[in-house]
Each structure stands twice: as C-alpha cells, then as structure tokens.
C-alpha cells in the first residue's frame, strides 16, 4: 500500500494559508508503515481537481483528500470523487439529521447548502466530525484501492485521523511492521558536532535509521525502526544508550519533553524553587518556564532588568560592579543570579545579560555576546557565549543556554 495526499483549496495556492496537512498526514501514515510518494495541492476548480484525483488514484492505492467538503458551491471534493470513481452521490438520512441537530443545538437554522454535506459517493463509510458540520468518508472504490476525504480545518481533520480513521489505518497497516520512533533532544551541540561524534553510527545504520533535525537552539536526533513493540523498544533502547554514552549531558530528554519541562520536573522532584533575572532575553526564560503546567509550584518570580537602574534596584547588583565591568559581564551575570536568589529566597537563581542587537555592540563585546549564570546550593557557574544571528535568534539561543546551564546544575553535571 502506498499513499498520495491531495490538498484542495485556492487559499493554499495564494500563499495565504500555510498547508500543514501534508506533514501531519505523512507522519501518521509513516507510523503505520504506509509510504507516501506525492503531495499535491490544487485549487477549488472542478476540472483540475478531477485531473489531480485521477492521476493520484492511478499511482497510489490510498488517496487522502483534504478540504472541499464545506456547504458552498466552491466545495467540490465529494462531486469530484464521485465523478472519478463513477459512484453516484447518495443522501444519508442519518447524517442529514445529525447536521440539522448540530445547528439546532446552537440555536441556528441549517442553510440549504449544508444539505449536500450529507451526500456521499455510494458505498462510502462515513467519518463523523465532532468539531464541525462536514463529515469525512472512506471509500474502497476498487478492490484494494481507497479514497479518504477529510475536512480542511486542522482542528477538525486531526481528531478525525486519530479517531474514526484509526481502525482503517490499522487495517491498511495489516501485519506490516509499524515505524516506531524515538527523538533524543540534544542541547549545547550543533548539528554537525552531533553528526561528527556519531559518524560511525550514522555510517553503519541498519535496522534503526538515524536523522538529525536542527531546531531552535537544539538538535533533535530521530531514531526509527520498523518492528513490533517489544522488538522495536529493545532496538531503540540499545542505540539510545550508546548515543547517551557518547553525548553525555547533552542529551537532556526524549520525544515531546521540552527543556523547560525537564528542568521543571527536576525542580519538583527536589522540592526546590527558582527565580530568574533576565536582561537580554527580556522575559523569554520566564515565559518558557511558565509555559509548563504546574510551574507555579517551583517558579517564584522573574525580573526583567533591562535598565541598569533596574539591575541595582531589583537585583541588588552593585553600581560599582556595573561601572567596573559593564552590564554585559561575567561579574554582573553572577551578581544578578545571586541577587534574585537572595531577594526571593529561592534555592536557585538563573540570570542572562548580553547584547541582543542590532545596536549596542562594541569591538570587545560585539552583538551576540551573552553571559548566563546560575547560583544554587553549593553551585555557582557562569558561561560566555557569542551567538550569530538576528535579535530573535540571540534571545532564543540565550534563553536555551540559560535553561541548559540550569539543567546541568540540577542534574549535578554543571
């Protein structure tokens, strides 16, 4: 079985809406071992849509179509699939009743156009849509050859793929081995450094494939293998252990757990608290830490001390140190971390100070020069970094470096 994804919508061809369906559906299909060879996007035009579906249905056994299931005259997907497969559209009374009820529950009257959302190519299996009026459908139009139609809005499509479409995905996957993945999240090393340190593993990858992805301030190393659950786990465990041995503290977590979530977990386990003093990151460290549900248990306070006056007033940095070393210095970074820790009475203090740019650089301290510091029980560390890139990049990298420094301190590896 192999698949093609056809996305329908003129707005996608105008560049005003980013198409995320290709990536989402491909990732899900890959998990079931179904290869995808083509993504195609076409507008709300009957002729071009039918042509695209005809080509797709010839070269793929499974064609997933997104969009064009709405109530307007521009919504042509059901008509086009009917035309291409030669299946007439038939009305499903129970679906019509459900759509009428959807409107009634909201105190509205169903528009006449919505009636066509209860029409399906003969032989279709309906996929209910809990978040909208457009149901999807699955049609085996010839033996072993399938069309799937899903609505365009991602918040309608995604739950349908993970809900009512799932039994079909499992059926299509059949006995075929599923692709099982694990992502190792790596901080403090660039993509090429990761590849260099693991060069021999990359060269001889076999049952488990490896790929690196550069993400904001970190690298994601994806391990994937086609095998049943227990066999897959044991293969991934073995390789992950070898990679962790080579990269050490740089592998801070796995899969969807962000650096701020890992730091939060460690603080909660230790029943310790944290306060943050930020200059160049301007609140981004605090924002990331407080994105984690339950962070109020360990995050006490943050200070964004942008002006020197604020560093003195809120963090008890001495005016003498500011004058002697400058606001962007190791001494001031440490004083900020120690000051915020002392003032709020927390176990840990974390600080950033630097030049985010585009202005403010000097020959000794060019734009992108940043100090991050941590102070905690028996621990005091400061690091100097030099980032290249625009203001947002400097803020992002600096916030990441600060959180990674705290992570190492919390895990006894600073």
Please say whether the beta carbons of 65 and 77 come within 8 A: yes
Q: How far apart are CA 127 and CA 26, in angstroms?
A: 19
Using CB under 8 A, which of the segments 33-41, 162-170, 234-242, 317-325 binds its own copies?
33-41
**Residue 139 or 183 having the CB closest to its own copies:** 183
Nearest distance, CB of residue 222 and its own copies, angstroms: 7
Query: Which one of residues 46, 392, 411, 413 is an interface residue with its own copies (CB under 8 A)?
Result: 392
- Written as six digits, the tokens of 110 are 């169903």
Region class of 9: left (phi > 0), else alpha (psi between -120 and 50), else beta: left
Q: Which of residues 310-329 bind its own copies (CB under 8 A)?
A: 310, 313-314
Of 38, 92, 226, 244, the one binding its own copies by CB under 8 A = 38
Binding test (CB under 8 A) with its own copies, winner from 152, 357, 368, 376:
357
Q: Which is nearer to its own copies, 293 or 412 (CB)?
A: 293
Burial code (b: 16+ CB inside 10 Å, e: under 16) for 337-352 equals bbbbbebbebbbbbbb
Instruction: Note whether 366 binds its own copies by CB under 8 A.
Output: no
The half-sphere exposure of 25 on its side-chain side, counting CA atoms within 13 A, is 30
What is the smallest separation between the CB atom of 248 and its own copies, expressed in angstroms? 26
Report the C-alpha gap between 401 and 217 in whole angstroms.
8
List the one residue from 356, 373, 401, 409 that touches its own copies (CB under 8 A).
356
Give bridge partners of residue 397 from the DSSP assignment: none
Task: Decide whether 19 or 85 has the Cβ nearer to its own copies.
Answer: 19
162 contributes a contact to its own copies by CB under 8 A: no
- Closer residue to its own copies in complex, CB, 12/99: 12
Neighbours of 144 (CB within 10 A): 9
Is residue 126 close enough to count as binding its own copies by CB under 8 A?
no
Under rule CB under 8 A, residue 343 binds its own copies:
yes
Residue 75: CB minimum distance to its own copies, A = 16
Nearer to its own copies, 237 or 392 (CB): 392
Give CA–CA dist 404/210, Å, rounded: 24
Read off the DSSP letter of residue 202.
H
309 belongs to the binding site for its own copies (CB under 8 A)? yes
Is cis: bond before 358, omega within 30 of 0? yes
């Amino acid at each position: 079985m192999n698949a093609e994804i056809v996305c329908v919508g003129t707005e996608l061809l105008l560049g005003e809406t980013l198409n995320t369906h290709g990536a989402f559906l491909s990732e899900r299909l890959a998990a079931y071992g179904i290869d995808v060879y083509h993504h195609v996007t076409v507008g709300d035009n009957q002729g071009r849509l039918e042509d695209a579906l005809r080509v797709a249905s010839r070269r793929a056994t499974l064609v997933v179509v997104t969009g064009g299931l709405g109530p307007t005259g521009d919504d042509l997907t059901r008509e086009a699939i009917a035309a291409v497969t030669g299946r007439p559209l038939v009305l499903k009374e129970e679906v019509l009743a459900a759509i009428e009820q959807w409107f009634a529950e909201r105190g509205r009257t169903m528009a006449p156009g919505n009636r066509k959302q209860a029409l399906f190519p003969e032989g279709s299996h309906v996929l209910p849509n809990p978040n909208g009026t457009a149901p999807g459908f699955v049609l085996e139009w010839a033996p072993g050859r399938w069309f799937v139609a899903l609505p365009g809005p991602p918040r309608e499509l995604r739950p349908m793929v993970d809900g009512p479409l799932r039994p079909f995905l499992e059926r299509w996957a059949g006995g075929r081995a599923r692709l099982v993945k694990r992502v190792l999240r790596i901080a403090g090393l660039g993509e090429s450094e990761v590849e260099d340190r693991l060069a021999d593993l990359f060269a001889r990858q076999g049952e488990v494939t490896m790929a690196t992805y550069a993400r904001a301030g970190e690298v994601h190393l994806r391990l994937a293998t086609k095998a049943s659950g227990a066999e897959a786990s044991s293969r991934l465990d073995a390789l992950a252990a070898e990679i962790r041995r080579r990269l050490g503290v740089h592998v801070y977590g796995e899969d969807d757990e962000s650096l701020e979530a890992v730091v939060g977990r460690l603080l909660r386990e230790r029943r310790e608290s944290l306060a943050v003093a930020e200059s160049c990151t301007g609140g981004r460290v605090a924002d990331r830490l407080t994105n984690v549900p339950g962070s109020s248990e360990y995050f006490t306070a943050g200070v964004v001390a942008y002006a020197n006056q604020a560093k003195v007033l809120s963090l008890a940095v001495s005016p003498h140190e500011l004058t002697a070393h400058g606001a962007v210095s190791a001494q001031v970074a440490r004083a900020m971390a120690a000051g915020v820790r002392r003032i709020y009475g927390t176990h840990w203090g974390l600080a950033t100070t630097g030049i985010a740019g585009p202005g403010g650089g000097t020959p000794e301290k060019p734009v992108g020069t940043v100090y991050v510091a941590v102070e905690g029980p028996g621990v005091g560390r400061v690091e100097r970094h030099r980032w290249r890139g625009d203001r947002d990049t400097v803020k992002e990298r600096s916030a990441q470096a600060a959180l990674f420094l705290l992570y190492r301190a919390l895990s006894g590896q600073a």
